[in-house]
C-alpha cells in the first residue's frame, strides 16, 4: 500500500531550524504567512507523530488535509 500524501497547515512561520523535525515533508509558506507541511505519510501512526511534533513545538494546527492524486505539489 502506498503512503497517502497530506498537507498540514500550521499557524505562523516555522523557523527553518525546526523543519528537520518533520522528516521528508516539504515545508513552505502560504500567502497568509502560515506554514504548510506537504508529503507522504506512511500511516495513521506516522500522521499522529507529525501532529505530536507540531504540538511539542507549541504550533497551532489550522488544518490537516489528505491530498488526492491530482493535488500533489
pLDDT (tens digit per residue) in 28-47: 999 999 999 999 999 999 99
Kind and range of the H or E run holding 46: helix 44-56
3-state secondary structure at position 40:
strand
Kind and range of the H or E run holding 49: helix 44-56
pTM for this entry: 0.88
Give the model confidence (pLDDT) of 10-26 as tens digits: 999 988 888 888 988 99
Q: What is the mean pLDDT of the chain?
A: 90
Instruction: Provide the 8-state DSSP code for 1.
Output: -
Domain residues of the chain, as ranges?
4-71
pLDDT band at 70 (very low <50, low <70, confident <90, very high): low
For domain 4-71, the CATH class is alpha beta
Amino acid at each position: 500500500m502506498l503512503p497517502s500524501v497530506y498537507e498540514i497547515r500550521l499557524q505562523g512561520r516555522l523557523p527553518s531550524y525546526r523543519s528537520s523535525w518533520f522528516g521528508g515533508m516539504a515545508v513552505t509558506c502560504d500567502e497568509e504567512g502560515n506554514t504548510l507541511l506537504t508529503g507522504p505519510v506512511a500511516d495513521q501512526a506516522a500522521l499522529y507523530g507529525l501532529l505530536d511534533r507540531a504540538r511539542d513545538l507549541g504550533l497551532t494546527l489550522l488544518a490537516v488535509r489528505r491530498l488526492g492524486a491530482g493535488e500533489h505539489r
